[in-house]
A and B are shown apart, each in its own frame.
Chain A
Amino acid sequence: MADKNQIERIVFQAIDRVNELLLEENAVAREAGTVLLGQGAVLDSMGFVNFVVALEELLATEAGLSLNLVGELNAPNNDLPKPETVGQFADFIFALSQRKAD
């Protein structure tokens, strides 16, 4: 099972992919507090889609973790808090991976 550090690294890798399309001065900061979703988000819809797609691919290839993040983010009955920041995304994915392992 992937540990928290590995998941954080993968989230940062997904940010790197998104940043390939951004100017250096507008790059998404690889910091836990960067807001990715909701009020004050740094990505638009398309940017967020690119981020989630990259994240799902990397989780599968790097950690063998197959997650439906879009489904989990939109699931009305999901009892996990909806992530907004980079750090919360890592927590969210870690919680999903643990749930999957149980």
Chain B
Amino acid sequence: MKISAEQVKAFGRLSHDRNPLHTDAAYARTTQFGKPVVYGMCAVVLGIAKWADGRRFQLVSLKGQFGKPLFEGEEYDCRISEAGNQVKVQFIKGAVVQSGFTFSWVEWNPAVTNGKHFDPRASFAPRATAVDAAIQSALPQWQARTFNYSMTLSDSQSLLALGLADGQMPDNQLNAILGSSYFIGMELPGRQALYSGFEFEFEPAAANENDFCFEVTTTKHDARLNRVAISGHGTGIKTFALSAFQRPRPVNYSMSDVEAGVGCSEVLKGRTVFISGATRGFGAVLAKALALQGAELMLNYRTNRDEAEALASELRERNPRVVLCAGDVSRAEDCRNISAEILGNNTKIDILISNAFPQIGAKSFLEQDSVEFMQFLNQSVAATVTLFRELIPLMNKGGVVVLVSTIFTTEPKPQFAHYVAAKSALEGLMRVLALEFRDLKFLIARPPRMLTDQTNLAFDLTPPLTAVEVARRFLTALNNTAATGNLFEINLAEQTADK
């Protein structure tokens, strides 16, 4: 099963849940997921609809957890198993369950209840944007409070896009499912929410009430895990319990943060540094660290001109010698254009840093099919190979070619086979190039896991180093390439002494 963009939009229209994690690609890019995530409850509705296959039903209970995110357009095995009136639905990729839930059900005859269609409660006006408040201050106001809600009515097209017909299941149960998504994503925790689990026990007689509400009875915040738990009852709901994490805000290392970590000097004055993928994450921190050492910077970015201009402006306040080079460095044509631009400016490169890399997600080997695995490998290897092919000829004698690799190539980590395979291939490339280009130096820098948007988790068992600290170690490693030899392999997980 593939979840389409239209189905995600339909869920958004019906539920009024406009949390930017699901609707705003630019925002999602600043999260650990890198791209919009499918609403967890959208998958639940799709799973139920697939099981129902047109039959009328009412839920007795519904319970599940969102373990891993689902993405639009990706292929999942939606596996449904049934025993009596107990149903288990799992969204599986490879051998890994991404999301799963169970429910029990009975047949539903709307004529037995009043059969009326649900009318929106006048007092419910959906928010246009999600609440963005500290959870501690928001919690008390939700203690013992009624929350009126109504899904969008008379939008049978959207409902059909999700696989359900109007009147196929009780409105209050659909409101409970959609309303929980709205409540978590728009109210509590709101903007930074990551919905993680839900449990509903429904009333035996599922009436189509005119009004729908959640009666929130208790809210709990676990500050250790950034997790909130909400429970209560509601219209046709005997009990409910919802849980969600509050994701941290995007990581931002300011110029003064970087200066505090790496200091300021003129050791790189007069030296030209090219960095690929320089305007985000570790690349941006490196750009700041190198600007503070007086380097002349050529910063590559792929598509986001505004983001690149903002970084360049920030850097120019401290160092005016910054130029931007647009282009996807995994594409030969873009690299040729960058090369022509550099040649046109009569510039030679002293330090060439390959940092650009596709978004890295934790995925076990069998979770990716061969096509996906090879696409990742091709794209990530091309981003260094193509860049080096065009720019190494533009380097000054004695220049340093740098590969930003990873500590995982020497200390492998499960769920990163694709990442380690790509970086290991590039490390091999560096070793051979060091033999072919004797008048250049080659540095394989292996950062440990560090805090960037990609590793910015709600809860982390092993908190990573800051990117500023890693940049400080990187500068020491770069200085150390002045030593004899032309191949250096440095593990940035360890403190390196200046030689």
Report B174-201 CB contacts with A as 1/0, cut-off 8 Å: 0000000000000000000000110000
The one of A46, A47, A70 that contacts B224, using a Cβ cutoff of 8 Å: A70
Interface class of chain B by DSSP? strand
The one of B67, B100, B225 that contacts A47, using a Cβ cutoff of 8 Å: B67
State the total of A-B contacts with C-beta under 8 angstroms. 45
Question: Measuring CB to CB, which residues of chain B are less than 8 angstroms from any residue of chain A?
Answer: 65, 67-68, 90, 92, 95-97, 99-100, 102, 196-197, 222, 224-225, 227, 243, 362, 415, 457, 459-461
A97 at the interface (CB under 8 A from B): no
Q: A46 to chain B: which residues have CB within 8 Å?
A: 67-68, 196
In angstroms, how far is the closest chain A Cβ from the Cβ of B350?
40
Q: B196 to chain A: which residues have CB within 8 Å?
A: 46, 50
The answer to whether A23 touches B415, judged by C-beta atoms less than 8 angstroms apart, is no
The answer to whether B100 touches A20, judged by C-beta atoms less than 8 angstroms apart, is yes
The answer to whether B415 touches A44, judged by C-beta atoms less than 8 angstroms apart, is yes
Query: Which 10 pairs show the lowest CB-CB distances between chains A and B?
Result: A70-B224, A21-B65, A21-B67, A21-B100, A45-B461, A49-B459, A21-B97, A23-B97, A22-B97, A49-B225
Given contacts A26-B95, A26-B96, A48-B461, contact A20 B415 (CB under 8 A): no
The one of A23, A45, A50, A53 that contacts B460, using a Cβ cutoff of 8 Å: A45
CA distance A69 to B243 in the complex (A): 19
A71 at the interface (CB under 8 A from B): yes
A79 at the interface (CB under 8 A from B): no
A102 at the interface (CB under 8 A from B): no
User: Chain A interface residue count: which class?
Assistant: 10 to 19
The answer to whether A53 touches B362, judged by C-beta atoms less than 8 angstroms apart, is no
Q: A49 to chain B: which residues have CB within 8 Å?
A: 225, 227, 459
A25 at the interface (CB under 8 A from B): yes
CA distance A44 to B222 in the complex (A): 20
Name 30 A/B residue pairs within 8 A (Cβ), A-sorted.
A20-B100, A20-B102, A21-B67, A21-B97, A21-B99, A21-B100, A23-B90, A23-B92, A23-B95, A23-B96, A23-B97, A26-B95, A26-B96, A26-B97, A37-B461, A44-B415, A45-B459, A45-B460, A45-B461, A46-B68, A47-B67, A48-B461, A49-B225, A49-B227, A49-B459, A50-B65, A53-B222, A53-B225, A53-B243, A68-B224
CA distance A56 to B358 in the complex (A): 38
The answer to whether B362 touches A44, judged by C-beta atoms less than 8 angstroms apart, is yes
Q: A25 to chain B: which residues have CB within 8 Å?
A: 95
The answer to whether B100 touches A45, judged by C-beta atoms less than 8 angstroms apart, is no
Q: A44 to chain B: which residues have CB within 8 Å?
A: 362, 415
Q: B97 to chain A: which residues have CB within 8 Å?
A: 21-23, 26
